[in-house]
Amino acid sequence: MKKLTFEIEINAPADKVWNAMWEEENYKKWTAAFCEGSYAKSTWKQGERIHFLDPNGNGMYSEISTLIPNEKMYFTHIGNIKDFEEQPMDEATKAWSGAQENYVVISNGTTSRIEVTLDIVDDHANHFIESFPKGLAIIKKISEK
């Protein structure tokens, strides 16, 4: 697995950036950079499961391992979802299960910086290298409105 890091400076306070990232409709907007129509089903509470889904009900399930509002959201990825159902662990899934995807919002008063680090299998790295800057640009646009 590789570790990728992305960051962006935003001319908005941390609470506005947080809302641009995690409010349901905003989340759908910026994650469209990865998969059009993607969304998340979650209680958005630390220790709870989250389902990251495409419009067909396929995706992955994870745990929210850290949640400090306006500061940090960390996900630990667990397994795949097919047709809205969590799938049992197989050899391919075991290769990436436990991967981390971490979001940190650093407040500088009226501006903020998002830092994202994620563990990724080599086969998917190029997709995220291309898509993440687009997603962060959408967060910036929503935050600075």
Give 81-128 as a DSSP string. EETTEEPPP-HHHHTTTT-EEEEEEEE-SS-EEEEEEEEE-HHHHHHH
Q: What pLDDT sits at residue 109?
A: 86
Task: Give the mean model confidence (pLDDT) for residues 12-38.
Answer: 96
Radius of gyration of the chain (CA): 15
Q: What pLDDT sits at residue 35?
A: 93
Query: What average pLDDT does the chain have?
Result: 96
Residue 14 has pLDDT above 90, yes or no: yes
Residue 11 has pLDDT above 90, yes or no: yes
Class of domain 6-143: alpha beta
- pLDDT band with cut points at 50, 70 and 90 for residue 122: confident
Residue 124 has pLDDT above 90, yes or no: no
Residue 144 has φ and ψ, to the nearest 5°, of: -90, 0
- pLDDT band with cut points at 50, 70 and 90 for residue 131: very high
Task: Give the mean model confidence (pLDDT) for residues 61-90.
Answer: 97
Residue 72 has pLDDT above 90, yes or no: yes
Report helix, strand or coil for 50. Answer: strand
Q: How far is CA 115 from CA 51, 105, 107, in A?
A: 22, 7, 11
Tokens 């994650």 found at: 31
